[in-house]
Amino acid sequence: MKDKKSIPKTEVEWKEVLTESQYEVLRGGGTEAPFTGELLKEKRKGMYTCVACGNALFSSEVKFESGTGWPSFTDALPGSVKYISDDSHGMKRTEVVCSKCGSHLGHVFDDGPIEKGGKRHCINSVCLELEAEA
Bridge partners (DSSP) listed for residue 107: 95, 122
Question: Is 4 contained in some domain?
Answer: no
Q: Considering the domain boundaries, does residue 31 fall inside one? A: yes
Residue 42 maps to a domain: yes
Question: Catalytic site residue 122?
Answer: yes
* Catalytic choice (53, 98, 122, 127): 122
Give the number of domains in the chain. 1
The CATH number of residue 29's host domain is: 2.170.150.20
- For residue 123, is it within any domain? yes
pTM (global) more than 0.75: yes
Host domain of residue 33: 11-132
pLDDT tens, position by position, 36-79: 999 999 999 999 999 999 999 999 999 999 999 999 999 999 99
